[in-house]
Chain A
């Protein structure tokens, strides 16, 4: 009977052995810290197999907000970034944590809300005007509140609309969560929110939410790729990261990006190669 008692223990040890041996870090892999939109929309799953079959490099995607992705880069915990917040990217390069920024693609932010549209946005193009209407109607608005690229873009819009949302506790709700969670919340509360078009098109729990404002040129959402600076963080997979930057801005990858569609709609518009600085 003693042997029987030992079975679970032995199983556990076997499991432990597998856990510690099979996942040793190999050289031909990089950690890509990326915004949730590129992962949740399925773009990376569509793109990365092509990169892996061409180079043999495996890309481990950590999908987080741009703010957190930049934090990871500063700590040297990622090899390459795919993010969408110009100011913090520029700061990262200036501080020497990342090499140059390269444009990859863009899409746009849109404002979604409940179909009955209590703030009467009725497909108004001007985003600041739309936000002012939400504020006037004191209609519920869900903010990401997580310093992600989308959150910071949304805050900038409120500033441009001259509305101090920090004082608007009755209708401005900061959730401190990812885009998907914020959309789930907006759907549940019948609230408005700002979302990037890719996440919106791929999102499957839209419920009564619908697009109520889009097409404003200042709602453009630019994605850039940056390799983490090996001079500052010597352990990074610099060569592989450089290859990734080169590949995702190459005609091959750019063409793939333009071919990625959900229900016939294109999610991202490639705009490389253009080294910004």
Chain B
């Protein structure tokens, strides 16, 4: 218990004194995670909805593969993106390895399947329910898609938050493609990993607590916004 209370004390100390290294790391983490989730949502939401609404050859296979990819191991994604962005890899000329951009690319690959699969699930149910109605109102496929996405917006926040959760928690991918470089690609999870390897378990756990708090804060604000919108229909 002594270690844990010391970790709480370390966490409180870091937060109260607004430790400049911590602020930098937290901001970069938020930055990378939010960017990844935004991009993954831009890809995953329409893709998931299309898989629910449109009927085409190979649809079921894609749905199955998307579900399976929800379990992608971050280290494998990290390696894949490393080989892609390495100077001797196909995208090496851009010099993106060991930049926050590389971390965002890896996380988008990790998160997009999660958002796509969950969106597909949510929209599929809604489509069954409103199909006749939408068609009778003369809605074309695109119109139906946007209507469904809009109607499912509250359910879909969960899909997006699931993606954000994954981005917040993973360390394997960003460690490989970011390199955990101080003041450049060091984020919360890689710092925790580094402090653990230095044997500084108290600080590592303290940072972990701050990470959990951040996650709670983000989720809470999303819930508050969602509820206020729900209660206040136009």
Contacts and interface: CB of A to CB of B under 8 A. Distances in A.
Interface in A16-57: 16, 18-20, 23, 25, 31, 36, 40, 45
Given A203-B198, A235-B95, A15 B87 contact: no
A72 B101 CA distance: 19
B121 to A, nearest CB: 22
A75 to B, nearest CB: 4
Given A11-B34, A180-B196, A23 B225 contact: no
Nearest to B178: A62
A181 interface: yes
Nearest to A7: B225
Contacts of A7: 225
Contacts of B155: none
Nearest to A44: B182
Contacts of A204: 198-201
Nearest to A24: B99
Interface string A172-191: 00000011110110000000
A12 B221 CA distance: 14
Contact of B199 (A8, A23, A76, A206): A206
Q: Is the interface of A mostly helix, strand, loop or mixed?
A: helix
A205 B101 CA distance: 34
Nearest to B35: A16
A167 interface: no
A7 B37 CA distance: 15
A204 B205 CA distance: 14
A4 interface: yes
Chain B residues touching A, range: 35 or more
Interface stretch (B109-117, B136-144, B209-217, B226-234): B226-234
Contacts of A184: 196-197, 199, 201
B179 A62 contact: yes
A101 interface: no
A128 to B, nearest CB: 28
Contacts of B181: 60-62
Contacts of A90: none
Interface in B82-101: 86-89, 92, 95, 97-101
Given A203-B198, A205-B200, A235 B87 contact: yes
Given A19-B101, A203-B199, A205-B199, A5 B225 contact: yes
B38 A16 contact: yes
B88 A75 contact: yes
Which of B87, B100, B200: most chain A Cβ within 10 A?
Answer: B87
A9 interface: yes
A16 to B, nearest CB: 4
Given A183-B199, A184-B196, A202-B198, A4 B87 contact: no
B183 to A, nearest CB: 8
A84 B34 CA distance: 39
Nearest to B101: A20
B35 A15 contact: yes
Contacts of B194: 40, 63
Contact of A60 (B89, B184, B197, B232): B184
B216 to A, nearest CB: 16
Given A11-B34, A12-B35, A60-B181, A180 B199 contact: yes
Contacts of A45: 182
Contact of A23 (B92, B184, B196): B184
Contacts of A13: 38
Interface in B180-211: 180-182, 184, 194, 196-201
B146 interface: no
Given A75-B87, A76-B88, A180-B197, A4 B34 contact: no
B78 to A, nearest CB: 13
B195 to A, nearest CB: 9
Nearest to B222: A8
A181 B181 CA distance: 19
Nearest to A206: B199
5 contacts: A4-B228, A45-B182, A60-B184, A180-B196, A184-B197
Interface of A: 1, 4-5, 7-9, 11-13, 15-16, 18-20, 23, 25, 31, 36, 40, 45, 60-63, 74-77, 178-181, 183-184, 202-206, 233, 235
Given A75-B88, A202-B198, A204-B198, 19 more contacts: A1-B228, A7-B225, A11-B34, A15-B38, A16-B34, A16-B38, A19-B32, A19-B100, A36-B197, A45-B182, A60-B181, A62-B179, A62-B180, A75-B86, A77-B88, A77-B97, A178-B197, A180-B199, A203-B198
